[in-house]
């Protein structure tokens, strides 16, 4: 038995799910900054959809090497929903938005994803979270929005609409993927979704390359590589497995911490400063997540 397996045996599924979800969110936290760097030089369609083609190639190799069985027809229906949400919808819409929005601003806007995910997850999983859970979720979302108001410019950007649509797409893909991961497996879900979508993405990506070319500095290609292999694949492996173990509704709230983790990435790699206000809001959001974890989320009967 490996060290990870021994440690996993000591932890409850809820705790393991939350830890895996946290690691997945850590991987997601650099997505918008990396996208922002990439779309400064590369066409947003290339960045938003091309990343899924690259990730899909790696996913196909993993599925082939491990001899994974082909999903059932019903599972393919769920995979199509997941692909529309997290392989096409969120990457493409967020890439367009990042052409005109700062990454930090975008990270705060998409902090509405956990609430959307909890709503869709409760519906798809047949769960009825206690009122206390919804109060904690709303409190965490309100804290993030208050943080945005205290640090932002206070205006609604036109590209914010794209990010809200992207957030809806991501939430639907997260909820459906977390549900399917319980039977298909966390890493298999994102791999099959990528393989399913890749053939439909080849033409728009080829057109984007034909019209705008691929000339870009190394930093842009590093950003593209990050969103392709980490954001679109490996972070999703952890995220979906966490959702499957800990429950979509509960684990989704860990993503409330993502804006602050994104700011931490900016502080470490871009030299930006973390203010006491930022740390205070992050601590308050962490408390709301911890309290939400203690709330009951029973299954709907019948």
Spacing of C-alpha 75 from chain mean position: 21
Question: pLDDT digits over 18-34, tens only?
Answer: 899 999 999 998 888 88
What integer is the mean pLDDT of 70-85?
Answer: 94
**Tell me, what's the pLDDT at 293?**
59
Partnered with residue 127 across adjacent β-strands are: 299
Q: Residue 43: which of 215, 219, 167, 159 has the closest Cα? A: 215
**pLDDT higher than 80, residue 196:** yes
Confidence of residue 249 (pLDDT cuts 50, 70, 90): confident
> What's the confidence (pLDDT) of residue 62?
95
- Range of lowest pLDDT (28-42, 140-154, 214-228, 271-285): 140-154
Give residue 55's pLDDT. Answer: 95
DSSP codes, 160-201: HHHHHHHHHHHHHHHHHHHHHHHHH-HHHHHHHHHHHHHHHH
Distance of CA 265 to the CA centre of its chain: 16
Confidence of residue 237 (pLDDT cuts 50, 70, 90): very high
pLDDT-wise least confident of 199-213, 217-231, 276-290 = 276-290
Read off the pLDDT band of 131 (50, 70, 90).
confident
Phi, psi of 175 (to 5 degrees): -65, -45
pLDDT band at residue 142 using 50, 70 and 90 as cut-offs: confident
Q: Is 299 helix (H, G, I), strand (E, B) or coil?
A: strand
Q: How far is CA 129 from CA 125, 126, 149, 214, in A?
A: 11, 10, 29, 48
pLDDT above 70 (res 7): no
CA triple 178-132-16, angle to 5 deg: 40
Residue 152 in this model has a pLDDT that exceeds 70: no
- Round to whole Å and give the CA distance between 90 and 159: 13
- Cβ-count burial of 74 within 10 angstroms (0-12 exposed, 13-18 middle, 19+ buried)? exposed
Average of per-residue pLDDT values in the chain: 82
> What confidence tier does 260 reach under pLDDT thresholds 50, 70, 90?
confident
pLDDT band at 302 (very low <50, low <70, confident <90, very high): very low
Please tell me the predicted confidence (pLDDT) of residue 85. 93
What's the predicted TM-score (pTM) here? 0.82
* Residue 82: predicted pLDDT: 94
In angstroms, how far is CA 269 from the centroid of its own chain? Answer: 21
Provide the pLDDT confidence category of residue 301 given band limits of 50, 70 and 90: very low
Choice between 91 and 252, residue whose per-residue pLDDT is larger = 91
């Amino acid at each position: 038995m490996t060290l990870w397996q021994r440690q996993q045996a000591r932890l409850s599924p809820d705790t393991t799910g939350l830890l895996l979800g946290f690691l997945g969110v850590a991987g997601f936290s650099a997505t918008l900054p990396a996208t922002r760097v990439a779309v400064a030089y590369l066409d947003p369609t290339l960045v938003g959809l091309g990343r899924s083609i690259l990730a899909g190639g790696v996913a196909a190799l993993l599925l082939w090497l491990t001899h994974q069985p082909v999903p059932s027809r019903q599972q393919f229906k769920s995979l199509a929903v997941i692909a529309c949400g997290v392989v096409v919808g969120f990457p493409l819409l967020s890439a367009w938005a990042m052409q005109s929005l700062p990454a930090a601003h975008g990270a705060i806007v998409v902090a509405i994803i956990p609430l959307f995910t909890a709503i869709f997850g409760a519906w798809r999983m047949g769960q009825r979270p206690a009122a206390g859970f919804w109060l904690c979720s709303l409190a965490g979302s309100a804290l993030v929005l208050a943080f945005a108001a205290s640090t932002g410019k206070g205006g609604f950007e036109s590209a914010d609409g794209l990010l809200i649509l992207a957030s809806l797409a991501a939430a639907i893909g997260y909820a459906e993927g977390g549900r399917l991961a319980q039977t298909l497996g966390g890493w298999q879900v994102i791999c099959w979704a990528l393989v399913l979508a890749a053939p439909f993405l080849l033409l728009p990506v080829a057109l984007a390359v034909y019209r705008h070319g691929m000339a870009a500095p190394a930093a842009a290609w590093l950003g593209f590589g990050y969103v392709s292999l980490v954001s679109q694949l490996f972070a999703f492996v952890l995220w979906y497995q966490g959702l499957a173990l800990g429950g979509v509704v509960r684990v989704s709230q860990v993503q409330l911490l993502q804006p602050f983790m994104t700011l931490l990435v900016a502080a470490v790699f871009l030299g930006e400063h973390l203010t006491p206000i930022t740390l205070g809001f992050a601590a308050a959001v962490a408390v709301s997540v911890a309290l939400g974890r203690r709330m009951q989320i029973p299954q709907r009967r019948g």
